[in-house]
Amino acid sequence: MKVANLVGQTFKEKPSDCVIDSHALMVRGGFMKYVGNGIYSEFPALRRVTAKIENIIRKEMDAIDGQEVLFPVVLPASLWEESGRFESVGSELVRFKDRNGSKHVLGMTHEEAAVQLVREYAQSYARYPFMIYQIQRKFRDEARPRAGMIRVREFTMKDAYSFHTSQEDLDKYYELCFQAYNRIFQRAGVPEVVTVKSDSGMMGGSVSHEYMLLTPVGEDSVVMCNECDYRSNMEAAGNRVDNTWDGNISEELECVETPGCKTIDDVCAFLKSDVKASCKAVVYQKNIDDKFVVAFVRGDYEVNETKLRNLVGGEIHTAEITADDCLVAGYIGPYGISDEAEVYIDVSLKGIKSIVAGANKEGYHYTGLDLERDLESVQYVDISKVKEGGICPCCGKPAITVKRGIEVGNIFQLGTKYTKSMNMQYTDENGESHYPVMGCYGIGVGRLAASVCEVHHDEYGPVWPITIAPWEVQICCLRADNEETKKVADQLYKDLMDSGIEVIYDDRQIRPGAMFSDADLTGVPIRVTVSPRNLKESSVEITTRDKSVKDIVPIEEAAGYIQNLRLKLFADIESHVEDYK
Amino acid sequence: MKVANLVGQTFKEKPSDCVIDSHALMVRGGFMKYVGNGIYSEFPALRRVTAKIENIIRKEMDAIDGQEVLFPVVLPASLWEESGRFESVGSELVRFKDRNGSKHVLGMTHEEAAVQLVREYAQSYARYPFMIYQIQRKFRDEARPRAGMIRVREFTMKDAYSFHTSQEDLDKYYELCFQAYNRIFQRAGVPEVVTVKSDSGMMGGSVSHEYMLLTPVGEDSVVMCNECDYRSNMEAAGNRVDNTWDGNISEELECVETPGCKTIDDVCAFLKSDVKASCKAVVYQKNIDDKFVVAFVRGDYEVNETKLRNLVGGEIHTAEITADDCLVAGYIGPYGISDEAEVYIDVSLKGIKSIVAGANKEGYHYTGLDLERDLESVQYVDISKVKEGGICPCCGKPAITVKRGIEVGNIFQLGTKYTKSMNMQYTDENGESHYPVMGCYGIGVGRLAASVCEVHHDEYGPVWPITIAPWEVQICCLRADNEETKKVADQLYKDLMDSGIEVIYDDRQIRPGAMFSDADLTGVPIRVTVSPRNLKESSVEITTRDKSVKDIVPIEEAAGYIQNLRLKLFADIESHVEDYK
């Protein structure tokens, strides 16, 4: 391919609407084009990247006995009604009626379609286990698409579904898939991806993991321990709080006036009390009946809404409290709170002998509150977010650190959520019927491409790993108007193409600076510069995009040198790929 | 892959809802599964077929300098509003609003998206020509999905768009693409695909061709000449009618009573007149204003609505005539018809000296009508369907034959329809602005798979050409419980896999009859049967699915024999692939 013919244009300036580097560089490099909110077209350069990622995924899925299928993008609503998700999923699910008024949805995940495909096939235990996967477009009507291809509304996804006759068998396969995922990210040139335990959210099931590529621009919080292997996403991270400190001693319960103190900071300042010994109330309402849900956490902690939602067992939203309600906004506390509210007390409050908390009375707080002494009964639950320096729930050391990451893949154990609701059963050896257990496994192709660019770029452009680079070698012919230079470059292009190497060849008659800028924006790993100056020495210059190699090589050795360098770059990546255990 | 592990089930019985063979066999063979009206999932066996078709297409598109891109499935309505198609296309275009109330459509073709992608890129003549293509899902809300994968609502399509600075350049590329398409169908094992001129319909533009696979179950009519190369689809076929016959002589114009004769057959029977000398009126109304459009054709011809619509220049529908209207239903004729109606007189009426036609008066017809003598002026237009035995518009011989075919691909010259409406311009060498001309080129992947199955099957299953077969070789191990048999079959499976051959291996312990039935339904071209009986002679049986080969081969020669047979089958197909001219 010649640069002169490549469809896609490069830009010098960073587009004003690009917040993160990968987005800016992928627009500037002619990889992607905005079509609508969270909707992009892929130019040829990016299509080559995503095709390579798809093939890496395909190979690893096939290696663990996955069978590729294809589900429709458009699904009859009836399928989602069977699972109950037609009602339960919010407006990220696009629903529409066809010309006959039949309800349909755009598939944003395909558990229902997977069960529907194999429900009749897998009626005997002898068919199990098996895994099917597809690589297909999906649409999820995100409220806030952002960061280019990182969070879009339409995307290509590999989604896989495995079916098993026992939890043990699922566990075994889940572990295999866990390794396959590591290999996929290692092959794609990002061995630094970490796995974290995660909350299963709307997918159902219990065990699940996310694959996180750590980067400050990531939109997810990853909780890690500096002392042990513990890793979790914020939603699923268990919080442990140590409330032993000097001065944590019992005092008498007293109701004091705290005029105009509506926030916990106001109160602590007014009472000259330590925020650690205070109790903060965060109030929600259940979506289903607007009943109040009050979460009490230590004054310096935040509520983890995912954990709270799981306890409540349904959707909740931030409360609006009026004067007529049973709660006194700004003065809510656990002692003497109305029976009408559902109350949750966080583990961060456990063991504090003398707490400042709202008195459920306008303008008043309690001091000296001891929950275990003063409440009839108290049950602590974990509904708070962990903090930097917090205690690791695994090793118990105060070594928790919180980082940002992009979720590039996830794997879930689904249990029987879908097989039960959609009545998929198999008969075992004794003729008895059971619901199979499922796992599901997703990777967003475009997001992975963008994430690799995010962690592998410099100020001039992407630095693509050779396994997913749009081309392997770029030839820059400086002064293509010079007959000799052009001849050498043309011949090298032909030789490399003939040996099966993917080459992009720039023989445009433009300034060297512009040519190099464009090459940087394309981000091809190996670059050969053919110029009159080097040709005086009968040589060409060979460099790598990551600047680790910069050599002057005699013309007749160039093709061989490039072939070896190419193999070395592949081998470097392969050296990070772990074998299956 | 072992049959025992293959996801997908075979059925003995023809499903009751399958009208055509390919649909029935692809359901019975575990290739596809119904999800909703016109919506199917692909089982692994079919996914392998469609992946191979996609790769054949990709290769040929790349060979004519196509660059693969990816457009979104979901498009903002604004793009389709730019081209005017948001309004002009009917309910086959799915329109929906997203969570913010923004209008979107599901892409059923991507001219708008293609122009949007390259509008800024291609502002200089130096960028031209170029072609971009994608292989992507599309949704078209067909009123009547039918025939399995032949006419569906959701489908995978390869759609390509080329851009040119002159009609000559488009013509040149169009011819190249024409050849690439022939090569694609030849490679997919259906060299019998014919090309026909077609009507461009809603795509705009003028020149277009369809690729038709002839089969009695096809839903399109293909007009061919037995004497020359003329071929056209019914919509675009020009009609020529010879009205010279003995007895075609002038008579006096006379208004006669024809009580109760409402159809042309009634009238001809009542008047004992030849239907050839009669004039039939078919009445439509314009969608835009309900104005009547009357088409007059010779009594034994039918109206070609596509040709009529093109003349009218807008959508029409069958008329509903009431007593208050200017037309007298059942008695409409060209002589004395109301000025309020728009009248078209077909070429099939030209040269008839004495016609029977409605008198525009309840219960009366004219006899002896001579249009050229009796009307003030008469202009003949071509609005009738050609008939079997009709006159070829190319060679003039009465050798027209009408066959049925499935449209497996199409190519269009679009002109500037989209570049103009979407304001895509380039600057030429003199600094002047122009609209580029476009071509577009489509192939439905699933439809091609089903069409190949339709023309290459027997009563037992598909007979896949080796280039697109799900596997190349099937091993049937009869009596897998027999240790020696199993050992030989296992070894052969391993040997063939090691040499890179795609093998499906049936080692289930089932009856030979059931195993062979399943193998027939899978339709793999080469079959090896390993059985205790043949092993007595130290041999295996090798057959082809099309029954052209049936050999007993010594075990030690089997792998080599199969490799050669495989190469021969590929070479057979390659021998039909025409070189580019």
Instruction: List A residues 385-444 in contact with B (Cβ-Cβ < 8 A).
Output: none
| In B299-416, beta strands by DSSP E | 316-318, 342-346, 355-358, 364-369, 380-381, 400-415
Instruction: Evaluate whether B316 touches B305 at the Cβ level (below 8 Å).
Output: yes
Write down the pLDDT at residue A199: 63
Select the residue of A39, A130, A132 nearest B72 (Cβ to Cβ): A39
Instruction: Kindly state the average pLDDT of the residues B48-65.
Output: 97
Q: Decide which of B283 and A207 is more confident.
A: B283
CA distance linking residue B501 with residue B314, whole number of Å? 55
Please say if the pLDDT value at position B412 is more than 70: yes
Whether the CB-CB separation of B91 and B157 falls below 8 Å is answered with no
Q: How far is B105 from chain A (nearest CA, A)?
A: 11
pLDDT band, residue B203 (cuts 50/70/90): very low
**Residue B251: C-alpha distances to residues A249, B254, B373 (Å):** 124, 9, 11
3-class state of residue A447 by DSSP: helix
Q: Do the chains contact at A116 and B35, CB–CB below 8 Å?
A: yes
Task: List the single residue in B with minimal CA-CA distance to A33.
Answer: B117
Instruction: Determine if the peptide bond prior to A129 is cis (ω within 30°).
Output: yes
| Per-residue pLDDT reduced to its tens digit, B6-38 | 999 899 888 888 889 999 999 999 999 999 999
pLDDT for res B200: 54
Reported as half-sphere exposure (CB side, CA atoms, 13 A), residue A137 has a value of: 26
Q: Does A45 touch chain B (CB under 8 A)?
A: no
3-state helix, strand, coil split of chain B in percent (to 5) is: 30, 30, 40
Read off the amino acid at residue A520.
D
Output the pLDDT for position A204: 47
Q: Is B329 exposed, middle or buried (0-12, 13-18, 19+ CB in 10 A)?
A: middle
Q: Does A117 touch chain B (CB under 8 A)?
A: yes
- The residue-averaged pLDDT of A340-358 equals 94
Check whether B270 has a pLDDT greater than 60. Answer: yes
A70 shares contact with chain B (CB less than 8 Å): yes
Q: What are the structural domains, with CATH classification, of chain A?
A: 3-237+402-455 (3.30.930.10), 254-381 (3.90.960.10), 471-574 (3.40.50.800)
Q: pLDDT of B531-551, one tens digit each? A: 999 999 999 999 999 999 999
Is A112 an 8 Å CB contact of chain B? no
d(CA A137, nearest CA chain B) in Å: 8
Q: What's the whole-number mean pLDDT along residues B130-155?
A: 94
For residue A45, what is the enclosing H or E element? helix A44-63
**Phi and psi based region of residue A84 (left: phi greater than 0; alpha: psi -120 to 50; beta: remaining):** left
- Say whether A41 and B156 touch across the interface (CB within 8 A): no
Instruction: Please give the interface size between A and B, counted as residue pairs whose CB atoms are below 8 Å apart.
Output: 170
Q: In which element (H, E) is residue B162 found?
A: strand B154-164
pTM of the model: 0.89
Angstroms from A94 CA to nearest CA on chain B? 7
Best to test chain A binding among B41, B48, B128 (most A CBs inside 10 Å): B41
Closest CA to B24 of B559, B32, A207, B354: B32
DSSP B14: P
Which pLDDT tens digit goes with each residue over A299-345? 999 999 999 998 998 889 999 988 888 899 889 999 999 889 999 99
The torsion angles phi and psi of A413, rounded to 5 degrees, stand at -95, 120
B281 to each of B176, B256, B309, B330, B375, how far by Cα in Å? Answer: 44, 18, 16, 8, 16
Tokens in use for B554?
């010594």
Confidence at B232, pLDDT banded by 50, 70, 90:
confident
Locate tokens 């518009």: which residue? Answer: B393
Largest CA distance in chain A: 95
Q: What is the pLDDT of residue A406?
A: 93
Is residue B11 within 8 angstroms of chain A, CB to CB? no
Q: Residue A442 above 70 pLDDT?
A: yes
Does B141 sit within 8 Å of A44, measured CB to CB?
no
The shortest C-alpha distance from A378 to chain B (Å) reads 42
Q: Which residue among B42, B68, B91 sits closest to A44, beta carbon to beta carbon?
A: B68
Residue A259: CB atoms within 10 A of its CB come to 8
Contact B41 A117 (CB under 8 A): yes
**CB-based contact, B116 to chain A, within 8 Å:** yes
Q: Which residues contact A407 (CB under 8 A, 6 or more apart)?
A: A210, A211, A212, A218, A220, A233
Give CA–CA dist B73/B108, Å, rounded.
8
Count the Cβ atoms, other than its own, within 10 Å of residue B249. Answer: 7
**Can you tell me the mean pLDDT for A470-483?**
96
User: DSSP states of A274-297 as a string?
Assistant: -GGGBEEEEEEEETTT--EEEEEE
What pLDDT score was predicted for residue A323?
A: 85
CA A84, distance to chain mean position in Å, is 25
Cα A482 to Cα B519: distance, rounded to the nearest angstrom = 63
Residues of A in contact with B422 (CB under 8 A): none
Q: Which residue of A has its CA nearest to B39?
A: A72
Confirm or reject contact between A11 and chain B (CB < 8 A): no
Task: Please say if the pLDDT value at position B205 is more than 60.
Answer: no
| Peptide bond connecting B129 to the previous residue in cis, omega within 30 degrees of 0 | yes
Q: Is A43 on the interface with B (CB under 8 A)?
A: yes
Nearest CA in chain A to B8: A121
Average confidence (pLDDT) over A255-283: 90
Q: Rounded distance, CA B469 to CA B448, Å?
A: 13
Which residues are within 8 A (CB) of B564 and not within 5 positions of it... i.e. 6 or more apart?
A: none
How confident is the model over B412-437, as a mean pLDDT? 96
The three-class DSSP label of residue A88 is helix
DSSP secondary structure string for all residues of A498-562: HTT--EEEE-----HHHHHHHHHHHT-SEEEEE-HHHHHTTEEEEEETTSS-EEEEEHHHHHHHH
Q: Is residue B199 very low, low, confident or very high in pLDDT (cuts 50, 70, 90)?
A: low
Average pLDDT over residues A499-526: 97
Mean pLDDT of B185-201: 85
- Cβ-defined contact of B116 to A35 (cutoff 8 Å): yes
What value does the mean pLDDT of chain B take?
93
Contact B104 A43 (CB under 8 A): no
Q: Above 90 in pLDDT, residue A201?
A: no
Decide if A47 and B35 are in contact by the 8 Å CB cutoff: no
Phi, psi of B512 (to 5 degrees): -55, -40
Mean pLDDT of chain A: 93
CA distance A182 to A177: 9
Tell me, what's the pLDDT at A315? 86
A198: tokens are 């995660």
Confidence at residue B263, expressed as pLDDT on a 0 to 100 scale? 85
**Residues within 8 A of B (CB atoms), A 553-572 only:** none
Question: DSSP letter at B266?
Answer: H
In angstroms, rounded to a whole number, what is the distance separating the alpha carbons of residues B11 and B16? 12
* A77 and chain B in contact, CB less than 8 A: no
How do strand B457-458 and strand B426-427 relate by DSSP bridges? unpaired
Residue A203 has a pLDDT of 45
Q: How far is CA B77 from the centre of its chain?
A: 27
What confidence tens digit (pLDDT) does each residue in A65-105 have?
Answer: 999 999 999 999 999 999 999 998 889 999 999 999 999 99
Q: pLDDT of A117-158, one tens digit each?
A: 999 999 999 999 999 999 999 999 998 998 899 999 999 999
Q: Check pLDDT > 90 for residue B206.
A: no
Which residues, listed in sequence order, are joined to residue B303 by a DSSP beta bridge?
B384
> Of A36, A47, A69, which has the smallest distance from its Cβ to B42's Cβ?
A69
Distance of residue A217 Cα from the nearest chain B Cα, in angstroms: 26
Q: How many CB atoms lie within 10 A of CB B375?
A: 16
For the CA atoms of B251, B256, B262, B268, the dihedral, rounded to the nearest 10 degrees, stands at -40
Can you spell out the DSSP letters for B495-552? Answer: HHHHTT--EEEE---S-HHHHHHHHHHHT-SEEEEE-HHHHTTTEEEEEETTSS-EEE
Say if the Cβ atoms of B67 and A156 lie within 8 Å: no
Region B144-171 average pLDDT? 94
Q: Do A76 and B39 touch (CB under 8 A)?
A: yes
Residues B76-131 have pLDDT tens digits of 999 999 999 999 888 999 999 999 999 999 999 999 999 999 999 999 999 999 99
